[in-house]
Chain A
Amino acid sequence: MMAFARSLADWIWLVPVMPLFAVVVTGARVLLGRAHGDAAEPLTARLTSLAAFGGLALMLAIDALALVHGAPGHRRLGHWFGNGNWEATFSFMLDPLSLTLGTLTALIGWLVVRFSANYLHREAGFHRFFIALGFFLSGIQFVLLAGNGLLAFVGWEMCGISSFLLIGYAWHRPVATGNALFAFVTNRAGDAGFLLALGLAAAWLGGFEWTALSRAKEISVVNDRLLVIGFVIAALAKSAQLPFTAWITRALEGPTPSSAIFYGAVMVHAGVYLLLRLEPLLVQVPDVMFGLVVAGLLTAAYAWLCGLVQTDVKSALIFGVVFQVALMFVAIGLGWTTLALVHLCLHAGWRIWQFLLAPSWLSITRERPPPPPAWLRNNQLLYTVALQRFWLDKLAQTLLVEPTQSFSRDVRGLEEHFIDRAIGQPGRGQALHHDRPLVRVDGLPGRLLASLSDSLQHIEYRLLLRGKGGTAEKLLQRAGAYLRTLEGLLEQPRYLMMAVMATFVVIL
């Protein structure tokens, strides 16, 4: 019996991989043009639903065995890559924390898949939706069940990508695509934190395994702090805590079931899970825990104020969600991790229901909620601040998204004006000299060859006739123009910022 239990736990990888399999099959059908019309829908929906249900059944079975024989704990299933100092593995963590959240997520995921099959019926993006949803179900299970940070990070990214795809579900609406981009870019700040922490963990703890975290006492507090801060930034961004909250309020453009599972019930709690997982590290650094309390309290105040003025149901609900998630951060900061875990589970269960029933708000509620206390009610300034959500989304747009867009524009410009021209394109050749129309070149290699032949000819020519000078002058002029462009670019604040950041990286 014990052997069976052990072997069952070794199949845990199926939980995240089955939805991925459904994604691959559906994706292949879409690519092969097999996913058209009403008849193609049931297969997509049933396959995803089956994958989600399979995951749930497996989780429940492992749960049952865990109740009888105790949780299987950390399971290493295979080697991924590594070097002498550290190793990345395919490992899963089957402790009570992961099992609880994994099971709850599997249940919610399965219900949402079932819900979506009807809700999205006959939508042009039906298969696209299920691909993104399956991808998310896989990613979130990697996050929750992974036995090491690297695998969790893979899941983390999968969640981010599927979130991006579903916010931009209505891709013909500029608001939706703009918001998808906004959420994607803001979340990358969190990823940077995650990556930084992973790198440090490899260096200082000798691996990415969660079990290695128990060795946290061995490293110095300074190192521990840096490591934890990376993870905390990741958690704050994913769970939409200050200063990253703005992205979640702009993420409500997708279909209702995706809003429900991503931002109402499951993904928004991923940051809380990460911190719960890192508890052994966290307790080493009380100042970071204090920081969590502060961030949580500020977010709670922010979400509470903004929630009061919301006029559409989804926005009103999302601020309610952010508020309660903020309380979980406070609880973790105070060291009450069990409370945070219980709160997380119960909150997810309630919100999925409340979000899926958002279209029923007309028949569910009868009267306007009571107004806030009088001192607040009549404060025009605070009202404006709450209505504009503390201008956080505008700030994030100005500080994060727009520099990113300008940067990509510059890279594109670089490619168009320098790299493309340098490489050259076939059939685009142009005559270098009017008097020699047959010599047609494009790109750097072409020009090199042409100029080689040119200079050979030039020498020959100079030997025969004395030509006029001035090539050096032209070259110098051109170099001057390039330098001016470079100088103009460097004056731009984003490059200044990059230079500063590069300096920091070198110092660290």
Chain B
Amino acid sequence: MSGQRDLPIRERLASWVDHLAHVLPAQAPIRDFVHHNTLHGFQHLPFDEALAAAHRLTGAHTYWPEGRFRACFDHGRVTRADLSAALDDAGVADLESTIVRGLTRRDVLLAALLAGEEVAGEQRIAWLRREGRLDDDRLFRHCESAVASLPVADEPGAWEGLCAEVGETRTWRAVLAEVSGEDVLERIRSILQRHLAAHLDLGVAAWRNPAREKGFFAAWRASAGFDLAWELDELPNVRDEILHLPDDPLDVLLDELPRLLPDETRWHGYLERLSLELPGWSGMFLWRDRNPAHGDGTPVAMLDYLTVRVLLERLLTEDLVRRLVGWPMGVAELPAHFMARPDELLVRRAAREVHLPEDLLGQAASLVEQARVGHVDDSAWQALAERLRPALRRVQANGAAWRLLALARQLGLTPDDVDALGAQGVDDLLACSASLNSLQRGQVWLLAYEGHYREQLFSALAANHPRRLSPAGPSAQVVMCMDDREEGTRRHLEEVAPDVETFGAAGFFGVPMYWQGLDDAGRTALCPVVVQPQHLIRELPAHGAEGLAGRHAARRALRLRWRERFYQATRRRALGGPLLAAAGSLPALAALTAATLVPGWFAETRQRWRERFEGRVPTRLALTAERADPATPEQPRSGWSDEEQVDRVAAFLRMIGLTRDVAPLVVIFGHGSSSQNNPHLSAYDCGACSGRHGGPNARVFAALANRPEVRAGLARHGLQVGDGSWFVAAEHNTCDDTVAWYDLEAVPTRFQAGLDRLLAQVGEACRAHAAERCRRLASAPPRPTPWQARRHMLGRANDISQARPELGHATNAAAFIGRRQMSRGLFLDRRVFLISYDPAGDDAQGRIVESILLAAGPVGAGIALEYYFSSVDNERFGCGSKVTHNLTGLFGVMEGADSDLRTGLPWQMVEIHEPMRLLVVVEQSTAVLTAILRRQPPLQELIDNAWITLAAKEPDSGAMARYCPRRGWLPWSGSAVLPQVARSADWFAGESEALAPAVILGGGE
């Protein structure tokens, strides 16, 4: 191959691989699970177009199944008016034009949406008739005769078209699966999966492929050359072929691609489709290719993977073609082969037409099976095809009649009305009802569903606007994470303690840092993933506790070493294994019994024993830099200078609007989650801290704000935080609703009384919150008292058998950016991210809200969209049920021991989620927000492409408007009437579904 031809194709391949990053799952190894938009690669497109593109490319459903939406309609969660408004929102044209007498396009489309797309097959119709279930049989007969005159197409989808799409929407494998009923992907995956997992492994296997240093292609080839499986699989020549492959994977790729597709322009599409057939493995391979620093030194190149994948595709499809047609043939000749055999093709494809009568389906399947193991005469194909053709025509006619029946029912047409439509009328009606494809239908349903909840939220905000609850001279101010889960905690705290004021902010509290705790071997970034920290904060033993710390470290190392030995050696050591298993047996049985019967007690006891063994070490934080070295992400500096500390604290306080009236106690609340036996553990943690616990950030912030140097600096910035105030840090465990307080011994005695009161109030609020959480968990006690709920949550968090330790973000739906007065006293059902922002303290350009939107927008959108996609198609975008998950290579989970790598959220995390886009309501004028949107391309991408919905609430008048990318700001006018209850518990008692907002009278009045 000449150098000149070589160079461009190399570059083109590289750019194709770059492009794969847009379509493959971008999930990092599971230890660092961080929420992100599953369709991140499509984010440059408008939402609906992106979903359509993803659907075309991956075949995944990008909207909730219509059945789910219709169930919501039946429960009043979507109304006819919502659907009608959604048709306008979606920009469907000519809604008021008349289709047939007295029916507008809007009427027909509404009827079509409510009627659904399902059609019944011949046998089901016959069965319904026999059972007398087809009540309006007369109507159906009229529908049948009405559609009788409609023209029918003859064959299922054209074969040439199917083959022409190879490289665009399908691969040869998919075409072959359609005609042969045999999917070679199963075999390809089985062949590849062990090699892939072995190459990417991050710490399960002891023995690695000796050739792995030369890359995946070389390693695979070295093993495949010795592999006898080819012969056992009746692929005798494959091993020879592999042994004679060129050494350079690129040469192999360029040899193989033309054999699959002579047309060079389709190679890119083909590679893309091919990688998407095993999205999990392809995505992980690409992630490791792009992030070599996170691997173990083994070279990982995407091109290696694609080469092996293309080679296997060619080998196995050729083998299948050979078995299919009976002689060796290139896969590219397949279209012509079947063009010459229309009868065989018809039978083969009809075998997957589900609406055909069962006996015909059975015969077709049986003939295909016969052809697989032996020879079938042309006459047999022909005979069956002759019988299938009229049946296929009947399927079409039945489908049309059924659709007309469903429409007629929705529109309230009588049999005579149907007759009166005439052939043209029926044709127009059916054409109009089918004018929205299933994606557009999904979009209309989604808009209606979102619209319904949006109306409820707007009403709630309008009803709450005149109340402006806010304690004068608060006894304490509590800053929590913006997390939707903390909405509940804050609401209950305000109900328990009306004189406490609460704030919300991204849970790293404006202190991006690398953190190294006392027990940590390395440093971890505690800040949003997009931020690269430049400073390292270490937790050190308190002065005088160094000896204690040394003993603690030694004992801890001893404990972990023995634990490691038990778990690892019992699976691989020849002599030590049986001995250790024997030694560990009785304690393990005892532990299992205790963990099963009394998980909460067992966890507490174990923790106590552990502490007794290792000892508690009082610690301090190394906050202040000793030298002013330059700080970079690669070489983080230890600690900040005084000035940097002041800047961070001041910026944060300004951002949340805590600039005056600082209360005696200010509590900074980080959060984390502590579930057991859960590979998706970090998906429950703080998203603003890269999926880790946010406690250290809270602790660091409070320590900074308490330093006299910082207080003095704050005063220079015009922020008065006097001696009458103290900052306290805590971490809220969202799983068991406990709170761990930091550095309480350092609190001056003058705050002690207030602190004791606050601790009790926070404890009571957490218990009340636990009771609220129980209502959404089917396995929790119904109507628990706060103490029962607390006990239940404690057990739940420590239960190794619990696949749903907590709810996570499963309830998220909206975000409010504004003062707490806007939402204080509203029951928001833990569905809203609450971000504190004081429009009065912002400048005319809204710089503060701009930075909040830039930081919180992507985080909120990432969480909401990941939940959205994992809910709408849990099989493709999510990772299915946890119960069969099997941890692989310490980087992901498979189902069982041989499957694609599963990415996204498990079904248990999203089963109660209501998939909708995040509605962000900002307390700011539309003019300021429009200007911000103009300035900020990242926000344009999110908001103008409708990945999130933006709404504005005028700070003074309370007037609200929603931003529509197509039509601009749409002012809201609606009723501001809301149910009123005394306390949250009165509203949610006995309810288990998502609840509408309500006004809580008790909260802070």
CA A64 – CA B210 in complex, angstroms? 56
Q: How far is the CB of A203 from chain B (nearest CB, A)?
A: 39
- Indicate with 1 or 0, residue by residue over B775-808, a CB within 8 angstroms of chain A CB atoms: 0001100000000000000000001111110000
The answer for the CA separation of A383 and B198 in the assembled complex, in Å, is 11
Assess the A380–B197 pair: CB atoms within 8 A: no
Given A316-B571, A367-B564, A311 and B223 contact (CB-CB distance below 8 Å): no
Q: Report yes or no: B211 in contact with A386, Cβ–Cβ below 8 A.
A: no
Whether the pair A116, B211 counts as a contact (CB closer than 8 A) is no
Cβ contact within 8 Å between A320 and B570: yes
Any B CB within 8 A of the CB of A210 = no
Q: A311-B888, A365-B203 are in contact. Are A354 and B897 (CB under 8 A)?
A: no
Which B residues lie within 8 Å of A250 (CB)? Answer: 897-898
B176 close to chain A: CB less than 8 A: no
Q: Which residues of B contact A384 (CB under 8 A)?
A: 222-224, 226-227
B226 touches A380 (CB 8 A): yes
Q: Mark B662-704, 1 if CB is under 8 A from A, else 0.
A: 0000000000000011110100000000000000000000000
Chain A residues in 8 Å Cβ range of B203:
365, 367-368
Q: Are A119 and B884 closer than 8 Å at their CB atoms? A: no
Q: What residues of chain A lie closer than 8 Å to B205, measured between beta carbons?
A: 308-311, 316, 368
A419 to B951, CA, bound (A): 73
Supposing A253-B897, A352-B592 touch, asked if A380 and B222 sit within 8 A by C-beta, the answer is yes
**In the complex where A256-B884, A311-B201, A320-B577 touch, is A353 in contact with B588 (Cβ < 8 A)?**
yes
Give Cα A366 to B887, complex, Å.
15
The reply to whether the CB of B593 lies closer than 8 angstroms to some CB of chain A is yes
Given contacts A358-B887, A387-B195, contact A324 B581 (CB under 8 A): yes
Name the contact of A376 in the complex, choosing from B207, B560, B563, B586 (C-beta under 8 A): B207
Contact: A118 with B679, CB < 8 Å? no
The CA-CA distance from A367 to B201 in the complex, in Å, is: 12
Do A357 and B206 touch across chains, with their CB atoms under 8 A apart? no
Chain B CB within 10 A, most for which of A342, A354, A376, A406: A354
The reply to whether B207 and A121 contact each other, CB–CB distance below 8 Å, is no
List A residues at the B interface (Cβ < 8 Å): 38, 107, 111, 114-123, 169-170, 173-176, 179, 249-250, 252-257, 300, 304, 307-317, 319-320, 323-324, 327, 342-343, 345-354, 356-372, 376-381, 383-388, 391, 394-395, 397-398, 406, 409, 416
Q: Do the beta carbons of B802 and A255 come within 8 Å of each other?
A: no
Is A118's CB under 8 angstroms from B801's CB?
yes
Contacts of B79 in A (CB 8 A): none
Contact call A380/B593, Cβ cutoff below 8 A = no
**Which residues from B are CB-within-8-Å of A359?**
677-679, 882, 885, 887
In the assembled complex, B209 has its CB within 8 A of some CB on chain A: yes
Q: What are the interface flags for B650-666 relative to A under an 8 Å C-beta threshold, 1 for contact and 0 otherwise?
A: 00000000000000000
In the bound complex, do residue A346 and residue B581 qualify as a contact, i.e. CB atoms below 8 Å apart? yes
B531 to chain A, nearest CB (A): 25
Asked whether any CB of chain A lies closer than 8 Å to the CB of B558, the reply is no
Is B584 among interface residues, defined by CB-CB distance under 8 A?
yes
Within 8 Å CB of A386, what residues of B? 207
**A369–B568 contact, CB under 8 A?**
yes
Docked complex Cα distance between A13 and B885 (Å): 37
Interface residues of B in 542-569 (CB under 8 A from A): 560, 563-564, 567-568
Binding site for A on B (CB under 8 A): 30-31, 183, 186, 190, 194-195, 197-198, 201-211, 222-224, 226-229, 232-233, 296, 366, 369, 373, 560, 563-564, 567-568, 570-572, 574, 577-578, 581-582, 584-586, 588-589, 591-593, 596-597, 676-679, 681, 778-779, 799-804, 881-890, 894-899, 908, 911
Contact A364 B563 (CB under 8 A): yes
| Cβ contacts A to B, 26 pairs, < 8 Å | A38-B778, A111-B596, A115-B800, A118-B779, A121-B778, A123-B881, A170-B895, A174-B186, A175-B899, A253-B896, A312-B204, A312-B886, A316-B204, A316-B572, A346-B585, A354-B570, A362-B681, A362-B890, A366-B560, A371-B208, A380-B223, A384-B223, A385-B226, A387-B195, A388-B229, A398-B232
With A and B bound together, what is the CA distance between A346 and B583 in angstroms? 8
Do A356 and B592 form a contact, CB below 8 Å, given A121-B804, A314-B897, A351-B581? yes
B193 to chain A, nearest CB (A): 9
Which residue of A120, A250, A313 has the most chain B CB atoms within 10 A of its CB atom?
Answer: A313
Most buried by A among B31, B366, B890: B890
Find out whether the CB atom of B803 lies under 8 angstroms from the CB atom of A394: no
Q: How close is B169's CB to chain A, nearest CB, in angstroms?
A: 23
Inside 8 A of B800's CB, which chain A residues have their CB?
115, 356-357, 360
Write out the residue numbers on chain B whose beta carbons fall within 8 Å of the beta carbon of A343.
Answer: 578, 582
- Contact (A387, B896) CB under 8 Å given A119-B803, A307-B571: no
Given contacts A311-B197, A312-B889, 18 further A-B contacts (CB under 8 A): A118-B779, A121-B779, A175-B186, A253-B884, A308-B206, A309-B205, A343-B578, A350-B585, A356-B592, A358-B886, A359-B882, A362-B681, A367-B564, A369-B568, A371-B208, A376-B207, A380-B211, A406-B373
Interface contact A312-B899, CB-CB below 8 Å: no
Chain B residues, CB < 8 A from A170:
884, 895-896
Of residues A311, A348, A361, A406, which shows the largest number of chain B Cβ atoms within 10 Å of its Cβ? A311
Known pairs A173-B895, A327-B578, A359-B887; A122 contacts B911 (CB<8 A): yes
- A308 touches which one: B207, B577, B881 (CB < 8 A)? B207
A320 (CB) vs chain B CBs: closest residue: B571
Give the residues in chain B near A304, CB-CB below 8 Å: 572, 574
Q: Report chain B residues within 8 Å CB of A395.
A: 232
Instruction: Give the shortest distance, in Å, between B650 (CB) and chain A (any CB).
Output: 38
Chain B neighbourhood of A363, CB < 8 A: 681
Q: In the complex the two chains form, what is the Cα distance from A179 to B883 in whole Å?
A: 17
Kindly report which residue of chain A lies nearest to residue B201, judged by CB atoms.
Answer: A311
> A175-B898, A358-B887, A391-B229 known; A312 and B197 CB under 8 Å?
yes
- CB proximity of A279 to chain B, nearest CB, Å: 21
Q: A327-B578, A359-B678, A365-B567 are in contact. Are A176 and B896 (CB under 8 A)?
A: yes
Please determine whether B897 and A387 come into contact, CB atoms closer than 8 angstroms.
Answer: no
| Of the residues A114, A308, A348, A378, contact of B801 by C-beta under 8 Å | A114
List of B residues within 8 angstroms of A371 by Cβ? 206-208
In the assembled complex, the Cα of A323 lies from the Cα of B209 at a distance in Å of 22
Taking CB atoms, residues of chain B closer than 8 Å to A255 are: 883-884
A198 to B655, CA, bound (A): 82
Given known contacts A360-B677, A366-B560, A309 and B884 CB-to-CB distance under 8 angstroms? no
Most buried by B among A111, A300, A378: A111
Measured between beta carbons, the chain B residues less than 8 angstroms from A409 are 369, 373
A112 to chain B, nearest CB (A): 9
Judging by beta carbons under 8 Å apart, are A361 and B572 in contact?
no
Q: Point out the residue from B204, B207, B679 that lies within 8 Å of A372, measured CB to CB.
A: B207
- 5 closest A-B pairs (Cβ-Cβ)? A320-B571, A353-B588, A253-B896, A349-B585, A346-B585
With a cutoff of 8 Å between Cβ atoms, the chain A residues found around residue B207 in the complex are 308-309, 371-372, 376-377, 383, 386
Known A-B contacts A307-B572, A310-B205, A362-B30; A118 and B802 likewise in contact (beta carbons under 8 Å): yes
A391 close to B592 (CB less than 8 A): no
Our pick among A307, A310, A349, A379 for the contact of B589 (Cβ within 8 Å) is A349
Closest to A356 in B: B800
Return chain B residues, CB-CB under 8 Å to A120.
883
The residue in chain B whose Cβ has the minimal distance to the Cβ of A381 is B226
- Nearest-CB residue, chain B, relative to A369: B206
Closest to B198 in A: A311
Q: What is the CA–CA distance of A379 and B564 in the complex, to the nearest angstrom? A: 27
A100 to B560, alpha carbons, bound, how many Å? 33
Cβ of A111 and Cβ of B592 under 8 Å apart? Answer: yes
Distance (Å) between the CB of A371 and the closest chain B CB?
6
B897 pairs with A312, CB closer than 8 A = yes
Least CB separation from A255: chain B residue? B883
Closest to A317 in B: B571
What residues on A are CB-neighbors of B194 within 8 Å?
A: 311, 387-388
In the complex the two chains form, what is the Cα distance from A327 to B677 in whole Å? 30
- CB-nearest residue of chain B to A364: B567
User: Which residues from chain A contact B202 at a C-beta distance below 8 Å?
Assistant: 368
B206 in complex: contacting residue of A345, A348, A372, CB < 8 Å: A372
